[in-house]
Structure 1
Amino acid sequence: MSDAHFEDQYLRLLREVWERGDERRDRTGVGTRSLFGPTLRFDLSDDRVPLLTTKRVAWKTAAREMLWFLTGDTNIRELVRQKVHIWTDWPLDRYRRATGETIDRDAFEARILADPDFAAQWGDLGPVYGKQWVNWDTYEPAGEGLFRLGKPVNQIAELVEMIRHNPTSRRLLFTGWNVAELGGMALPPCHMTYQYHVAGGRLSGMLWQRSCDLGLGFAFNAFSAAMLLRMLAQQCDLAPGELVWSAGDAHIYLNHAHLVEETLARTPRSEPRLHIARRPASIFDYAIEDFAVTDYDPHPHIAAPVAV
């Protein structure tokens, strides 16, 4: 039995990318160091969860975001109402560019909450994650070469049914990468494809990310993927197995040097557990109050800028 901490593999990857990664210019203009194709594996048995301990992670924020995705909502208003700010920077940047107004985040969010029309115009992110997960558009012939909207596809509902009734299928997956709608998204999906595998009464899952910010994004991505796997397992009467995380471009932003150095100077501690208090009627009926994390004793949070 290995005494290695689950976080050690993340720290090895962080060091490898920082020391050996290809330094390159990127879309944001900040610049990154990047490696291609790493894979990490996390055991989710006995309520284990890959929640980083070398810095405090706001796991409830990640959980609220995941629950928001499952509603199909694409407007930041509901997130802001829950004091979740992680998606505000994109519509705020769009508003500033369009109007020239030098409004700060707090004032922008206050207007989002106070004015539904303002929120509708400026708070929408386009057809991002939730839209594709539970409301993927389809089209049907409407005569003379015309098409109209058909019945949308709820990939998550279909996934649950497939896991329950055809658990050996190699099609237990969903994706957010809708090529036709990428241009309308505030940010194309980074954690884009999830696939699942049932064996021995256990549900394992794989998350493939086309792009992963190891300094900030990974902590949320790994926790959220584990949380979703646990929800699916519960809904399908399976035990949680393993989470396999894989990335295309795994990178660290050049302005995150302090974050990397401080993180690598710390020693992982504790083995967090994620508990689910009840089994709701469906995958779409979970609430934030259903989740609790125990045995979490992290090092202090490390602040770092988000590249937009």
Structure 2
Amino acid sequence: MSYADQVFVSMCRDIIDHGTSTEGEKVRPKWEDGTPAYTIKKFAVVNRYDLAKEFPALTLRKTGIKSCTDEMLWIWQRKSNNIHDLKPHIWDSWADEDGSIGKAYGYQMGVKHQYKEGMMDQVDRVIYDLKHNPYSRRILTNIYVHQDLHEMNLYPCAYSMTFNVTKRPDSEKLVLNGILNQRSQDVLAANNWNVCQYAVLMHMMAQVCDMQVGEFVHVIADAHIYDRHIPLVEELISREQHEAPKFWLNPDVKDFYDFTPDDVRLDDYATGPQIKNIPIAV
């Protein structure tokens, strides 16, 4: 059965059975009817996925691989902070009348910084180091920029990606590993979406830097299930689990900036039914 399913079920069970409730406390998010959106949460959830063994897509329900890839490329490749450059409508609630989400996410990835080697943004710096200095311990991104927080319509949730290169004893090809740091996550709405999009990023970076893909580690400081999501999660984690799908990435693409969502595909992807109309706290 899918390893991602096992991780997800175990995490959700632990949150529901052993988590801390915020009911009655001061919380920022609200439901559409204006009532406080309380959660059950766990601190410092760490999930590890070996991308060389299988792609970590849930089979309990379908994760839209092209849609989550499009959002990842919106941030990492197009470096946009405008929802008009994004096909999914997941950011609509945080956009202003012009479609901007402020100085958040893609905006920060596009800011150029001065390095010894010249002016580069964070994405280009990662690719440069992976190609020219792969054993560096300084290959990371950070979009939680305090001086710009007041101009962000939502503080970044997934805010830092750290890359680290290793080698397997049976191969000369380098192995690309990564750690995603996330300050907060709505487990039902976003967990596997984030896991899949950053797994895709790892595959893309490995391919354009002529490496093998390795381990993806997901660190969540506040992993929470909203009060109105608990019955949905209980039903979801009780479902039948299937074999993990096979991941396909267009092997002809050698430049990260040439990838599109159509260069990604999940084959033999058997899933349970989608959960529709998940209430989202804003």
TM-score by shorter chain over 0.5? yes
Identity within the alignment, %: 31
Q: Which residue of 2 aligns with 1:68?
A: 74
Q: 1:239 aligns with which of 207, 212, 219?
A: 212
Q: Which residue of 2 aligns with 1:111?
A: none
Q: Which residue of 2 aligns with 1:17?
A: 15
| CA positional deviation for 1:136 | 5.0
Deviations 1:223-256 (CA, angstroms, capped at 9, x unpaired) = 0110001111001100000111111011111110
- Structure 1 residues 274, 194: CA separation in 2 closer, same or farther (over 3 Å shift)? same
| CA positional deviation for 1:258 | 2.2
Q: Does the CA contact (< 8 Å) of 1:235 and 1:279 recur in 2?
A: no
- Structure 1 residues 137, 196: CA separation in 2 closer, same or farther (over 3 Å shift)? closer
Q: Does the CA contact (< 8 Å) of 2:37 and 2:227 recur in 1?
A: yes
Q: Does 1:271 align with 2:244?
A: yes
- Structure 1 residues 269, 60: CA separation in 2 closer, same or farther (over 3 Å shift)? same
Q: Does the CA contact (< 8 Å) of 1:135 and 1:152 recur in 2?
A: no
Q: Does 1:122 align with 2:95?
A: no
Q: Which residue of 2 aligns with 1:287?
A: 260
Q: Which residue of 1 aligns with 2:3?
A: 5
* Residue aligned with 1:284, SS: helix
In structure 2, how many angstroms separate the alpha carbons of the residues matched to 1:4 and 1:49? Answer: 9
Q: Does 1:261 align with 2:237?
A: no
- Alignment-mate amino acid for residue 106 of structure 2: G
Deviations 1:152-192 (CA, angstroms, capped at 9, x unpaired) = 74101110110111111111111111111111111111111
Equivalent pairs, count: 262
Q: Does 1:54 align with 2:27?
A: no
Q: Does the CA contact (< 8 Å) of 2:175 and 2:212 recur in 1?
A: yes
TM-score by length of 2: 0.88
| CA positional deviation for 1:270 | 1.7
In structure 1, how many angstroms separate the alpha carbons of the residues matched to 2:220 and 2:71? Answer: 20
In structure 2, how many angstroms separate the alpha carbons of the residues matched to 1:49 and 1:5? Answer: 9
Q: Does the CA contact (< 8 Å) of 1:49 and 1:274 recur in 2?
A: yes
* Residue aligned with 1:245, SS: strand
Q: Does 1:195 align with 2:166?
A: no
Structure 1 unaligned blocks of 5 or more: 95-120, 139-150
Q: Does the CA contact (< 8 Å) of 1:90 and 1:186 recur in 2?
A: yes
- Alignment-mate amino acid for residue 171 of structure 1: R
* Residue aligned with 2:161, SS: strand
Q: Which residue of 1 aligns with 2:223?
A: 250
* Residue aligned with 2:71, SS: helix
* Residue aligned with 1:17, SS: helix
Deviations 1:166-223 (CA, angstroms, capped at 9, x unpaired) = 1111111111111111111111111111111111121111111010111111111100
Q: Does 1:170 align with 2:171?
A: no
CA RMSD of aligned residues (A): 1.8
* Residue aligned with 2:280, SS: coil
Q: Does the CA contact (< 8 Å) of 2:51 and 2:199 recur in 1?
A: yes
* Residue aligned with 2:262, SS: helix
In structure 2, how many angstroms separate the alpha carbons of the residues matched to 1:137 and 1:168? Answer: 21
| CA positional deviation for 1:137 | 6.8
Deviates more, 1:262-271 or 1:129-138: 129-138
In structure 1, how many angstroms separate the alpha carbons of the residues matched to 2:13 and 2:202? Answer: 28
Of Structure 1 and Structure 2, the greater helix share is in 1
Q: Does the CA contact (< 8 Å) of 2:50 and 2:215 recur in 1?
A: yes
